[in-house]
Each structure stands twice: as structure tokens, then as C-alpha cells.
């Protein structure tokens, strides 16, 4: 296991636990579009999709993380959460890219309102 892989597994667990704290029921998503790290639902039917990535350092990684979300054709919010330096909040094709620190301090509700 290389350095980045170890941190990726830690960030997955951190993101999963924080989504639970935010009130989501969290499952791993195996969809027709491919695997999505987390499919999250709230009791009132709200749904979001979340991809977790350690660092998005090149175009291949970017395509892997954003591609499965892009292939989902519904209108539920989609997020990529990473530790990529200098990411505040960026939108790409309707997918919000958040830095892990911002997700942990601000959550997702700000972006959904």
C-alpha cells in the first residue's frame, strides 16, 4: 500500500462518519453508471451522491472521480470531496468539488440551499 492509498482509506472513513453525523443513511452505490463511493439518503427523501478522493493530481484521477457521477442522469446533488490543495468549492458539470476540511466544518447544507 502506498502513502496516498492509506490516506484515501482514512478519508473515506472520515467522510462516511461525517455523513452519518449529518443525518444521512449511507450506502455504497453500485449503479448502472458504475460504483459511487456513497449514496446518501435522509428520511424525507433527500438524496446525494458522494465520491471520496485523497488528492486529484492529474486528469486520469479527475476523470475517474467525476466520471461516474457525470454518468448519473438524475438531478440529485453530486459531490467530490478531496484533500486537493487550494480547493474551496468548485462546480464542474453540476458536480461540487469540496475540500475535506470545508466539508467537515461547513457540511453540505450550505451548497444545497
DSSP 9-37: HHHHHHHHHHHHHTT-EEEEEEETTEEEE
C-alpha distances out from residue 4 to 13, 14, 50, Å: 15, 15, 19
Q: What percent of the chain stands above pLDDT 90? A: 52
Average pLDDT, the chain: 83
Stronger pLDDT, 27 or 88, i.e. the higher one: 27
Which DSSP helix (H) or strand (E) runs through 98?
A: strand 95-99
Domains and CATH numbers, the chain: 3-108 (3.40.1350.70)
Residue 75 has pLDDT above 70, yes or no: yes
- What's the CA gap between 15 and 94, in Å, rounded? 20
State residue 2's pLDDT score.
Answer: 40
Amino acid at each position: 500500500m502506498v502513502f496516498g492509498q492509506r490516506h484515501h482509506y482514512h478519508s473515506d472513513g472520515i467522510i462516511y462518519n461525517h455523513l452519518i453525523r449529518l443525518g444521512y443513511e449511507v450506502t455504497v452505490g453500485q449503479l448502472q453508471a458504475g460504483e459511487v463511493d456513497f449514496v446518501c439518503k435522509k428520511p424525507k427523501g433527500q438524496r446525494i451522491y458522494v465520491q471520496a478522493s485523497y488528492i486529484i493530481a492529474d486528469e486520469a484521477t479527475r476523470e475517474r472521480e467525476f466520471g461516474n457521477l457525470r454518468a448519473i442522469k438524475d438531478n440529485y446533488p453530486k459531490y467530490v470531496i478531496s484533500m486537493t490543495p487550494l480547493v474551496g468549492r468548485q462546480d464542474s458539470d453540476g458536480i461540487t468539488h469540496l475540500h475535506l476540511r470545508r466539508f467537515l466544518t461547513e457540511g453540505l447544507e450550505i451548497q444545497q440551499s
